[in-house]
Amino acid sequence: MTIVNSKDLFDKQSGESDLTKIVYSMIARSDNGIVTLAPGIAWRILDELNFEGQRKVKKARFEARLNAIRSGTWDAQMSTILIAVLPNGAMVLIDGQHRLYAIYTHDAPVPTGIKLVNARDDEHLKRLYALCDMKDSSRTESELLSASGLAEIIGIKFKTAEVLLKAVAIIENRMEPELRGSGKEPLRQFDFRSEKAAYWEREAREFDEVLAIADAPLRAKLRRAGTMAVALYTLKHSREKALRFWKGMAENDGLRKHDPRSRLLTDLLTRSIAHGSTRQSVQQPAVAWNAFFEGRDLKIIKCIEGSDIVIQGTPMRKGGAK
């Protein structure tokens, strides 16, 4: 099946085609947005308008929709095909792939809804794809992240972007990694976190460079959300010193035993967060950073349950606003 590159569509002088005219014609003749969709048109939408990066068809979901059509339980109003329209007239399918496959396989016209939404540009198109089906629990966060293009937009590795979304939620929660509870729902929502991630774009790239320097075992530990949250926060508010701290630790080139960077490196590699409070993932780098910021040696990293999160050189410094 041909996958249309949405960016190429947008870059063309005109994205209109005979198929886009057919879609407009069907909607114009629809009954409150419900059209009778022929199998051939369903296939053409899949073949010609599918979103680049569309997730693979899942057999169980496809079969469920096909069974609904054949058993008479199909509800046209609840089975809407969502198509984005770019400024040049191009159309891109952003939701409804499994429904279209079911209609095509049924091999007879099926009533279904078709809705058009405007996409401002290619980036907005990706966001629409990522967010249009948030209620569908079968779409994983990795699939949403891939569709959003966030890693490419910021210029970081995909794995770093995955952790960034979690780290941003911790920062928004005043450095507390516990994201459950009333009033914290946005912190668990992809669209909220992806929007907030843009504010940390430069720091995310700098931390991605730190990860590239670190060896594999350390890199895995640095990819904890709590650690990245502290890294982003220090890079934002005390950039020069933070670069020396994080890059110096990753390089580990002759660090003294009681250098806070050396202590953090050792602690990251030996401490099991799974056996303690998840809060330690924030406390651990914060304690080492505070010693480094103040020019102190550090013999041991103590993570005290219930103690305030303090990050010197930032708005969360001791006595500062939180």
Q: What are the backbone dihedrals phi and psi of residue 224, each rounded to the nearest 5 degrees, phi first?
A: -75, 140
Domain identity same for 46 and 168: no
Any domain includes 25:
yes
User: CA end-to-end span of the chain, whole Å?
Assistant: 52
Structure tokens at 22: 């057919």
* Token couple for 27: 């909607």
Mean pLDDT of 72-100: 90
Q: Do the domain assignments include residue 107?
A: yes
Whole-number pLDDT of residue 56: 82
Q: Are residues 127 and 155 in the same domain?
A: no
Return d(Cα 318, Cα 312) in angstroms, integer.
7
Domain boundary among the residues 139, 168, 202 is at 139
Specify whether 249 is located in the same domain as 268. Answer: yes
> Does residue 57 lie within any of the structural domains?
yes
In a domain, 264, yes or no: yes
Final residue before a domain boundary, out of 139, 165, 192? 139
311 within some domain: no
Nearest C-alpha neighbor of 79 from the set 111, 49, 46: 111
Q: Does a structural domain hold residue 144?
A: no
Residue 254 and residue 195 share a domain: yes
Does pLDDT of 72 surpass 50? Answer: yes
SS3 234: helix
Pick the more confident residue, 274 or 301.
Answer: 301
Of 205, 301, 219, 318, the closest CA to residue 259 belongs to 301
DSSP per residue, 187-213: GG-HHHHHHHHGGGHHHHHHHHHHHHH
Using alpha carbons only, how large is the chain's radius of gyration in Å?
25
* Rounded percentage of the chain residues whose pLDDT exceeds 70: 90
Across residues 281-303, what is the average pLDDT? 95
Last residue of one domain, picked from the residues 139, 171, 193: 139
Summary mean pLDDT of the chain: 87
pLDDT band at 202 (very low <50, low <70, confident <90, very high): very high
282 and 153 in a common domain: yes
312 domain residue, yes or no: no
What does the H/E/C string look like for 111-178? EEEEEEEECCCHHHHHHHHHHCCCCCCCCCHHHHHHHHCHHHHHCCCHHHHHHHHHHHHHHHCCCCCC
Two tokens, residue 88: 């040049």
Per the structure, the complete domain to which residue 221 belongs is given by: 149-294
Q: How many domains does the structure of the chain reveal?
A: 2
C-beta atoms surrounding 209 within 10 Å: 14
CA 226 – CA 170 distance, rounded (Å): 7
Same domain, 76 and 194: no
Question: Coil, helix or strand for 319?
Answer: coil
**Residues 160 and 274 reside in one and the same domain:** yes
1, pLDDT greater than 60: no
In a domain, 300, yes or no: no
Domain shared by 289 and 176, yes or no: yes
The most confident of 17-21, 128-132, 208-212, by mean pLDDT = 208-212
Asked if residue 189 and residue 91 are part of one domain, the reply reads: no
Determine phi and psi for 307, rounding to 5 degrees.
-75, 155
More reliable by pLDDT, 238 or 124: 238
Tokens of 269: 């590699």
Residues 290 and 158 in one domain: yes
- Specify whether 119 is located in the same domain as 183: no
Q: Tell me: do 104 and 166 sit in the same domain.
A: no
How does residue 319 score in pLDDT terms, banded at 50, 70 and 90? low
